[in-house]
Structure 1
Amino acid sequence: MFKQYIGWRFVLASIAVVIIGATIWFVSSLSRKIQEEERKKVATWVEANRELLQSDSETNLNLAVDIVTNNTTIPLILTDEAGNILDSRNFDTTLIREPQFLQKQLKAFKKQHPPFIMEVDARKNLYNYIYYGDSLILRQIRYYPYIQLIVVALFIGLALFAISSTNRATQNQVWVGLAKETAHQLGTPLSSMEAWLEILRENESNASITAELSKDVDRLKLITERFSKIGSVPQLEETDLIAQIENMVAYIRKRSPQKVQLTTHSDEDELTVMISPPLFDWVVENLLKNALDAMEGKGKIDINIQNHPTYVTIDVADTGKGIPKMNFEKVFKPGFSTKKRGWGLGLSLARRIIEDYHRGRLYVKSSELNKGTVFRILLRK
């Protein structure tokens, strides 16, 4: 399915490139033809001016006057041999009044087209030079496809953003529905387990069994509470962040291999922040479990908590196999997993909890293959 999706994207992109290329080629060809026609018009205009200067025939003069006066689109600048501007045509009168405007236009015209030379007085060897630029129509045609492509690109960008937002909203609805249904389904057996646990407590000989069962039931209740909070805005509470993290570390430490060392570091004894304890525990648990999986039974996990003026950072550093830099963002996408039996939802949910509910950030701070990874949680005060 994924390869098919990529294939269709490639085909559509290829068609778009062909259309864009064909459009640019056609407009370029058309602009070259118009440019050649304008050059012929300027040449005719020069000949008409020469005729006005040299001819005595009234018929020829009338024709020359018509040719000269009919040119209202191609901008022209007339100079002498020394480069002094003698006359100009087809410029905005308000712009001509600006200092150095014609000089700047003359400099630009010299780069665009070679000038026409008009003989003024053959005996005195006097000549004038006619420089010309592209007409407004030619400039519009030349830049039209690029403007069109920008507009189309903006439209496609907005369309893709809308589609992405719609897909994300649909995905969120599916996740919320799945989470709430899971919480609902867990509720019934939990109630039954609590009832059976009370019955077992009536016999004092079952004290050791009921103590462990009680922990597992409490754990299931916590998981159910986490799932039930997905999709709804959680109530953030003032919580001692250090104590909250140490409790989760103690829970994971009992269930991790003996060759794994978990350590918490902080310069403060107490650090109060606004969090949702059940959801935040879920994030820390996911990060610690990912670190354990990456180390494959041995290594070290360090949790560094740092207090800053406007925010708090929690770095979870492991000595596992590391993450390639190209996968720093992919690890947070639903479905991405390096484990054979992984669903690829843990880190994705963790990021949503931090960014959507706590207005913080969760990202890969650094990673080196076969040396370890550091995940950072940033919580704003």
Structure 2
Amino acid sequence: MKKRSIFARFNNWFIFSLMTLVVVSIVITSTLVVNYLKKEEVKRVDILVRALKFQQDVTPSLEVQELLLAIYSSNTTIPMIILDKNDQIIEYKHLSKEIGEDPQKIIAEANRMEKKYPAIEIKVQGGNDQFVYYDNSEILNNLQYFPFLLGFFVLCYFLFSFWFLRTVKKTDEGYLWAGLAKETAHQIGTPLSSMMGWMEIMKMENPDSDGVIEIEKDISRLRTISERFSKIGSVPELNDMNFNETIQENFDYLKTRISKKIKFTLLLPTYNILVPHNKILMSWVIENLVKNAVDAMKGEGILQMSVFERNKNILVEVKDNGSGMTKYQAQNAFKPGYSTKKRGWGLGLSLAKRVVQEYHNGDIKISQTEVGKGTTFRILIRKEK
């Protein structure tokens, strides 16, 4: 069981590492593509500036002028501003309407562009040199955030897939345990019916025999166990109300069946707690917690069960001074199939959790545990749904 748990943890870490690697790879790859596009835009600007310089230096032929015009017109996305050395506006392209209508804003935009990319100087005859300011196109600016958005959506997809598969797995496990419980109830029912028939015959022959009385108690106990298993997987009726009575009956029954070396005490409120519950299933939960505590104390120690109200919630605590649990054991205690006992199936606490959560609108957890000092289990049942 421990090896399987370690293997499961290894698988979880492997999946997490793989998800992280995929997301990081997507972000890095997308960032490299965006950087490549930036360099391509800078090259386009450089070509445009060279064309402008060539036009300033020589008087080109008609064919060359057409070529230069085609190069200059090919810029349909990159914002550019051309100023002379006195910050007089010569030309601008692809600025927002708000900026383009205000000369001061155009100059301010050129200064902002220069902080990102250095201005390119064009020598002009007569000394009135020109300076070309430019920035990334709007499309490229938007693409800068694309790698992170893509990584975020891929991560969300992985997380959703993981949650979905885990939910499906839990649902399948629920059906498995429910089916196992119902089949167990069915298998117990057949010999139980036969035992009840033989019991009636024995009572006719010697009804006051100690053996008959004890066997009748055991048959009654088997009937209760069969009813518990049969209710798993179906919606039980919460007909019982007096919670104190249910706990007291469980305490009286269990106290006579655990080691005399265990000091078993019960603390109940002086008033009756009335809350809808199923006595058979709730008894099963209490019995599981008590038996776990007895096993943890190895048949000797102090065991205390207490019931109280807090913030319109009913709390039941089962506290022992046994071996306690490690952090890892406490985290996995309620998982189906997990058990610290060599012969344990790991079903008791997982089924107890299902009974409390799904059928009684509550919760069950380990509220305190320490290795060598003991463990406290706490059941919480909400009085109002």
The reply to whether TM is greater than 0.5 is yes
Give the 3 Å change call, closer, same or farther, for CA 70–229 of structure 1 in structure 2: same
Q: Deviations over 1:93-151 (max 9, x none)?
A: 479789x9989976874554333345578646x664514125515753x5555444444
Contact 2:323 2:373 (C-alpha < 8 Å) held by counterparts: yes
Q: Which residue of 2 aligns with 1:226?
A: 228
Q: Deviations over 1:168-210 (max 9, x none)?
A: 3332222222211211121222222222222332345743222
C-alpha distance in 2 between matches for 1:319 and 1:103: 79
Q: What TM-score, normalized to structure 2?
A: 0.82
Q: Which residue of 2 aligns with 1:130?
A: 133
Contact 1:305 1:312 (C-alpha < 8 Å) held by counterparts: yes
Q: Which residue of 2 aligns with 1:68?
A: 72
Give aligned pairs, total: 378
Structure 1 residue 61: Cα displacement: 5.5
Q: How does 1:139-178 map onto structure 2 within 5 Å?
A: 139-140=142-143, 143-178=145-180
1:42 aligns with 2:45: yes
1:356 aligns with 2:355: no
Match of 1:296 among 298, 310, 321: 298
Match of 2:118 among 114, 119, 132: 114
CA RMSD of aligned residues (A): 3.7
The structure showing larger relative contact order (alpha-carbon pairs under 8 Å, at least 6 residues apart) is: 2
C-alpha distance in 2 between matches for 1:378 and 1:12: 34
Match of 1:342 among 333, 341, 344: 344
Give the 3 Å change call, closer, same or farther, for CA 102–247 of structure 1 in structure 2: farther
C-alpha distance in 1 between matches for 2:90 and 2:234: 77
Match of 1:305 among 304, 307, 310: 307
Give the 3 Å change call, closer, same or farther, for CA 205–315 of structure 1 in structure 2: closer
Q: What TM-score, normalized to structure 1?
A: 0.83
Contact 2:319 2:377 (C-alpha < 8 Å) held by counterparts: yes
Q: Deviations over 1:334-371 (max 9, x none)?
A: 11110011011100000011111112111122211111
In structure 1, the gaps of 5 or more residues are none
Contact 1:117 1:129 (C-alpha < 8 Å) held by counterparts: yes
Q: Which moved more, 1:61-70 or 1:228-237?
A: 61-70
Give the 3 Å change call, closer, same or farther, for CA 101–5 of structure 1 in structure 2: farther
C-alpha distance in 2 between matches for 1:133 and 1:367: 60
Q: Which residue of 1 aligns with 2:187?
A: 185
Code of the residue aligned with 1:38 in structure 2: it is: E
Give the 3 Å change call, closer, same or farther, for CA 105–365 of structure 1 in structure 2: farther
Give the 3 Å change call, closer, same or farther, for CA 29–65 of structure 1 in structure 2: same
Structure 1 residue 332: Cα displacement: 0.8
Give the 3 Å change call, closer, same or farther, for CA 297–35 of structure 1 in structure 2: same
In structure 2, the gaps of 5 or more residues are none
Give the 3 Å change call, closer, same or farther, for CA 54–361 of structure 1 in structure 2: same
Q: Deviations over 1:306-345 (max 9, x none)?
A: 2134322222222122222233331111111100110111
Q: Which residue of 1 aligns with 2:377?
A: 375
C-alpha distance in 1 between matches for 2:36 and 2:250: 76
Contact 2:19 2:155 (C-alpha < 8 Å) held by counterparts: no
Q: Which moved more, 1:106-115 or 1:325-334?
A: 106-115
SS in 2 for 1:180: helix
